[in-house]
Structure 1
Amino acid sequence: MAVFTETDAFLAALAPSGALAGLDLGEKTIGVAVSDLRRLVATPLETVKRKKFTLDAARLLEIAKARGLAGFVLGLPLNMDGSEGPRCQSTRAFARNLSALTELPIGFWDERLSTVAAERALLDFDTSRAKRAEVIDHVAAGFILQGFLDRLAVMRR
């Protein structure tokens, strides 16, 4: 399938129903969150420890198959001024490489401040430092995916 840089094109490529996965790509981990079938609520799922691309992609595709996913939403780490830096280039390269292995459409969502929001939420729940370190990436993926789902809900109106 293809990687879509525009939200409208990504939405047009998605099946009308089915869960989506949100991904927070880090250098050492990939946070994964999934939506419900109606695409209303994002739920943090797991953090994949990065090894090498083929193994990372295999785990993501296992999740996609097991959950019958309709597509992937990757957090795009834009700079605060909206410009793209090396991390964006890395994310786009990951998406291109993943698209060669799956028919599922892949889109992007601005992830600015998602980790900050996840950290605040975990602090609000009085989560220990050790537990925060363990779950922060997939909680951040949940914030990324929920942002996309909220935008989708507004577009449906």
Structure 2
Amino acid sequence: MTGRQAARWLAIDPGDKRIGVAAGSMPEGLAGPVDVVDAKPFDKAVARIIQLAAEYGAQGIVVGWPLNMDDTEGPQALDARKLAQTIAWACDLDVRLWDERLSSFTADQALKGTLTRQKRRARQDALAAAAILQDFFARNGAATAERIAKPR
């Protein structure tokens, strides 16, 4: 690296049962799967995500935001927003929402034929988080993603 410190980010792919986690850095734009966290109980999932952010020295967390194809927020997108708000309120990190439509599909396609269905599902969430983070880096998400404000 030449004089510029890498900005480290964590990305999460929230789901009803599991939350995929990936880590990566800019300006390299590299991201890789880190962990899969149980989504319930909710407070323990939030605590684990914040712990992983600290372990990886993340300056921010990108939360996958599964918008509908017409750009509206459905129930899953609202759940992702709630998770992002809870994380933002519980730590001093920059928390962003990032459109993650089709990230799970992309991860599933990458794994298809390589693992049993059960093992594929276990890894799919973390790979989807890595896909979210790669897209965030590629599209300059730090400058364009919706930032979650902390309560006053």
| Shorter-chain TM band | 0.7 to 0.9
| Aligned with residue 50 of structure 2, among 42, 61, 66 | 61
Percent pairwise identity: 36
Contact 2:22-2:126 within 8 A present in 1 as well = yes
Q: By percentage of residues, which structure has more helix?
A: 1
Task: Confirm or deny that 1:134 pairs with 2:134.
Answer: no
Contact 1:19-1:39 within 8 A present in 2 as well = no
Which residue does the alignment assign to 2:15?
26
Task: Confirm or deny that 1:107 pairs with 2:96.
Answer: yes
Aligned length: 138
Contact 1:18-1:68 within 8 A present in 2 as well = no
Deviations for 1:47-101, whole angstroms, at most 9, x for unmatched residues? 0012222211111111111111010001111011221111111111111111111
**In structure 2, C-alpha distance between the alignment counterparts of 1:39 and 1:19, rounded to whole Å:** 10
Report the TM-score, using the length of structure 1 for normalisation.
0.81
Which residue does the alignment assign to 2:79?
90
Report the TM-score, using the length of structure 2 for normalisation.
0.84
State the superposition RMSD in angstroms.
1.8
| Aligned with residue 132 of structure 2, among 122, 144, 152 | 144
Q: By percentage of residues, which structure has more strand?
A: 2
**In structure 1, C-alpha distance between the alignment counterparts of 2:46 and 2:82, rounded to whole Å:** 13
